[in-house]
Amino acid sequence: MAVKALQEGYHGEFKDSAEKFGGAIVVYIGWDKHLWFCSPKAFPLDPNMPFGAVVENVLPAGFGAHPQFAEIDWDKVEWSLNQQPFTPDMEKSLAEQGFDHKCLLRMKTPGLDGLHGASI
């Protein structure tokens, strides 16, 4: 369906198109079963940064406050990118591995399923 408008061909401006972010892409990151963080978070990231830098810098800033964060075995994390299983290469850049503007990265940490049996 399309919007019904007074004038034919009405189209709102794309407010969040990629070129508006000064070279960064927006990446959303969520940690399954850890509702201590109420929702996934949004980060403006340089698409040329290696995935390893996300693990080293971005994730601790966004999720490091959780007691289970320090226990994560990064080799065992199950990742998905845009809802497809994803095996990251720590050395390669985000762009090289298919990260695009407004993509969704989810991580599952088997064995670390949140606290108190309540997915906290």
Partner 1 sequence: MEAKKLNVKEKYRLLTRDLDWEFSYEDRKEAFPYEEFEGIKITDWSKWEDPFRLTMDAYWKYQAEKEKKLYAIYDAFAQNNGHLNVSDARYVNALKIFLTAISPAEYAAHNGFAFTGRQLGGIGARIAAQMQSIDELRHIQTQIHAMSHYNKHFEGFDEFSHMHDRVWYLSVPKSFFDDARSSGPFEYIVAISFAFEYVLTNLLFVPFMSGAAYNGDMATVTFGFSAQSDEARHMTLGLEIIKFLLEQHEDNVPIVQKWIDKWLWRGYRLLSVVAMMMDYMLPQKFMSWKEAWELYFEDAGGALFRDLERYGIKMPACAELIAKEKDHLSHQTWWTFYTFGHAAAFHTWTPSAEEMDWLSEKYPDSFDKWYRPRFEMAAELAEKGERFYSEGLPQLCQTCQIPMFYTECGDDRPDDTCYRSTHYQGERFHFCSDHCKDIFEDEPEKYVHAWLPVHQIFQGNCGGADLADVMKYYKLNDGAVNADYMGSSDEQRWKALKGIA
Binding residues for partner 1, per CB under 8 A?
1-6, 10-18, 20-22, 24, 26, 28, 30, 32-33, 35-44, 61-62, 64-65, 82-83, 100-104, 106, 114-120
Nearer to partner 1, 43 or 79 (CB): 43
Nearer to partner 1, 40 or 52 (CB): 40
Minimum distance between the CB of residue 93 and partner 1, rounded to whole angstroms?
19
The whole-angstrom separation of Cα 20 and Cα 71 is 37
Nearer to partner 1, 13 or 75 (CB): 13
Minimum distance between the CB of residue 50 and partner 1, rounded to whole angstroms?
20
Burial class of 114 by CB neighbour count within 10 A (0 to 12, 13 to 18, 19+): middle
Minimum distance between the CB of residue 35 and partner 1, rounded to whole angstroms?
6
Nearer to partner 1, 5 or 95 (CB): 5
**Gap between the terminal Cα atoms of the chain:** 40
Q: Which of 63, 52, 67, 60 is nearest to 97 (CA)?
A: 52
Minimum distance between the CB of residue 13 and partner 1, rounded to whole angstroms?
6
